[in-house]
Amino acid sequence: MTSLDQRLSALDLSVLPTWVYDHGRHRFPWANAKAIEFWRATDRAELLSRDLSDLSPAVRARLDGYLRVLAEGGTVLEDWTLYPRGAPATVTLHGQPIDLDDGRLAILFQALPQAASVGASMVRGVEAVRHSSVLVSLVDREGEVLFHNPAALRAFGDAPTIDAAFPDEGVSAAVHGAIDAEAPWAGEVRVVTTDGERWHQVEARPTTDPVTGARAVLVQQLDVTAQRRAEGQVEEQGRLIDQLNRSLALVEEQRRQILNLSAPILDVGRGTLAVPLIGRLDAERGSELGERLLPAIVAHRASHVVLDVTGAEALDPDGAAALERLAHAIQLLGSRPILTGVRPEVARALVDVDLGEDLLVLRSLGRGLEVSRKRARGDARRRA
């Protein structure tokens, strides 16, 4: 079997820069004299030793697409701007398949110089589209792909039609229909890419195929998957916050109900209110009890309030201070506080507390109710 050098020896004197590109190893395994000159190499050995692996994603996608076409027996012809030693050179590359000595497929490139009439703005525009992260496609009336920029090639491969990208048939119909529309069609839709399902902002704009002159559709797509996920997370967080707020409101309501049950205000008749205190009495519970008790004293015109601490826990300084404030507040409303059920541990906490001169301390709730009734009868006789 003849070697690559032997098979290509006739091209060594070609006036066109010609080289073989090994995309698997990112090397030039062969180049003619004009290619050495084009790539500004010092000699053939220096050119063949260059490592070309530092390719942009756009260039890599284009070359991947070329290999797929060549593997099926086709050829490629496309304009490129190459950068030998950093100097831009715009050429038309003709590529055809060639087998390397180890049997792998490579690309035989011939570089045709661009026509002088090609303007700098056109060259820059073409390169901008090729390196853009926006997916740009040109499709005909049936949805057949006439052109994919490298970003679109990476997303969709070399599928012959654009319809496969849109699982929603309505979107495909809208893209096709844009060819005859007066205004572009746009939408945020689900698309199927080589990386799985994504969300794209799609715009389909009627235009003309510059090669055939036939009507076509320019399809531009921007991947907004990350944005939609972020919006979904914000929405989910908002829902969780609402749910948490509702739960906190329910917990607060249940807490208030428990507080009410642990210190109910009982109207026992004859102008007397009884308040059995159960559990811990601290500043918060004292404040909450005062918010309920003081309006109840006014509403019932209560002359006596029996505070029963039989079921209360041992008072700490905060609890004793809360009880002191409550007793003073009762007295300021013209009612007489009666403290009942004082156990030794509660008494010790109240030693240094000023509960007021009018506070009566009794052994039990029953005794407190009895005294309050007698006082109420005495007050009634005096008023009579």
According to DSSP, residue 161 is labeled B
Residue 126 has pLDDT above 80, yes or no: no
Average model confidence (pLDDT) across the chain: 85
pLDDT at 357: 66
Residue 258 has pLDDT above 70, yes or no: no
User: Apex CA 316: angle with CA 312 and CA 319, to 5°?
Assistant: 65
What pLDDT, on a 0 to 100 scale, did the predictor assign at position 94? 92
Model confidence at 120, pLDDT cuts 50, 70, 90, reads: low
* Residue 228 pLDDT level (bands cut at 50, 70, 90): confident
For the chain, strand residue ranges (E) read 18-22, 27-31, 76-82, 89-99, 105-113, 135-139, 145-148, 185-193, 196-208, 215-223, 266-269, 272-279, 304-312, 336-340, 360-362
CB count within 10 Å of CB 350 equals 19
Average pLDDT of span 20-42: 94
Looking at mean pLDDT, say which of 120-124, 152-156, 378-382 comes out highest: 152-156
Average pLDDT over every residue of 14-38: 94
pLDDT-based confidence at residue 31 (cuts at 50, 70, 90): very high
Lowest mean pLDDT among 89-103, 139-153, 261-275: 261-275
Tell me: pLDDT of 353 over 80.
Answer: no
| pLDDT band, residue 198 (cuts 50/70/90) | very high
Lowest mean pLDDT among 27-36, 59-68, 275-284: 275-284
**pLDDT (0 to 100) of residue 260:** 56
CB atoms closer than 10 angstroms to residue 232:
10
Measured over the CA atoms of residue 164, residue 165, residue 171 and residue 177, the dihedral's sign is: negative
**Residue 219: which pLDDT band, with cuts at 50, 70 and 90?**
very high
196-206: average pLDDT: 92
Amino acid, res. 153: L
Phi-psi region of 152 (alpha: psi -120 to 50; beta: other; left: phi over 0): alpha
Distance of CA 157 to the CA centre of its chain: 28
Q: Is the pLDDT of residue 259 over 60?
A: no
Cα(38)–Cα(316) distance, integer angstroms: 93
User: Per-residue pLDDT for 26 more than 90?
Assistant: yes
pLDDT at 32: 94
**What is the pLDDT confidence band of residue 384, given thresholds at 50, 70 and 90?**
low
Please work out, in degrees rounded to the nearest 5, the angle formed at the alpha carbon of residue 344 by the alpha carbons of 271 and 317. Answer: 80
Predicted TM-score (pTM) of the model is 0.44
Specify whether the CB–CB gap between 265 and 291 falls below 8 A.
no
Q: pLDDT digits over 286-324, tens only? A: 888 888 899 999 999 999 999 998 888 877 888 888 888
pLDDT of res. 346:
81
Nearest in space to 93 (alpha carbons), one of 81, 82, 109, 105: 109
pLDDT confidence bin for 201, thresholds 50/70/90: very high
**Residue 48, pLDDT score:** 95
- Above 80 in pLDDT, residue 233? yes
Per-residue pLDDT tens digits for 154-191: 888 878 888 889 998 889 888 888 888 878 999 999 99
